[in-house]
Amino acid sequence: MKVVYTYDDRMALIKEVHTRRNKIQSIKNKSKNLMTKKPSIKRDFSEITIAKNTQDNINHYTDASKYAKEYYGDILHQTIKYDNPGVGEDWGDY
């Protein structure tokens, strides 16, 4: 913070603050214009091809035992090896 004692120093400080304020304002205006510009490219999204039958789940993995073996492997085997047979066999014959 500057401290001035004379009239001339005060006028010089006012002028300095004024020029700084004008520079900051011009920078703010330029950056505001950058944010308000609309994108020049117009994106055209193609139609998504989904099965027309809504009863089918396109994310359904059809081979549960293969999925379990591939992604869980020994961890799954160690987890279910002491389970009762016939109870909770959601993964198929692993």
Does 76 reside within a domain? Answer: no
pLDDT digits (tens, 9 = 90+) for 34-61: 767 676 777 666 555 554 555 666 666 6
State pTM to two decimals.
0.35
CB contact at 8 A, 88 and 80: yes
Q: Which amino acid is at 91?
A: W
Is 7 contained in some domain?
A: yes
| Residue 18 belongs to domain spanning | 1-38
Number of domains into which the chain is organized: 1
Higher-confidence residue of 55 and 13: namely 13
Task: Check pLDDT > 60 for residue 17.
Answer: yes
